[in-house]
Amino acid sequence: MVPAGFSVDYCDPYEDGWPKLTPHTKGHIFGSPPSAVHLSACWSGYVSDTGQPDAAPPGTYTHPVTGTVTVSNSTWEPCLIDGRDPSAELGTISCAGGLTRTDSASNLSDSDVANVANRVTAYLCYRWQPPLAGFLLIPAEVVLRASSTEAIERQQ
């Protein structure tokens, strides 16, 4: 919830395909053509027992400023890329552009009293065709995959 008189500026909305993350990341790729590297990212976080995303972690919390006590009955929900959790099933995610993404959290909390602990996960892959492929049992293609997860705390 955004307080009255304030606005939200999404600097890199995932709905638009991460317009800042994508070129920044591809600008730091070396040794392979950046256009051949596929990138996707998603948000994971706690979801309340009513299905509300951006919930506080399970437990009881006292807001440091307002003193409001919040009881949270939430569960951790991972983000999914290509229907799979990149932190647990990295080797099974496709290596292609435009993969489907399921976010269970966001980059903005819905409450000023929630102790939100969201994570953003970036997934990159590249289909490498080694020199001398097919010679001496060298495979024709090797799929290189990487995933990085960073915890993001809500900021005001």
What are the pLDDT digits (tens) for 42-51?
888 888 888 8
69: phi then psi, degrees, rounded to nearest 5: -95, 130
- pLDDT score for 106: 72
71: phi then psi, degrees, rounded to nearest 5: -105, 125
**Cβ atoms within 10 Å of 21's Cβ, excluding its own:** 15
- Tokens of residue 120, six digits: 């953003």
- pLDDT score for 61: 73
- Alpha-carbon distance of 56 to 13, in angstroms, equals 22
Residue with tokens 């994508």: 22
pLDDT tens-digit readout, 117-147? 788 899 999 999 988 887 888 899 999 999 9
Q: What is the mean pLDDT of the chain?
A: 81
CA angle 88, 72, 64 (to 5 degrees): 110
pLDDT tens-digit readout, 50-90? 887 777 778 877 777 778 777 778 888 999 999 999 989 99
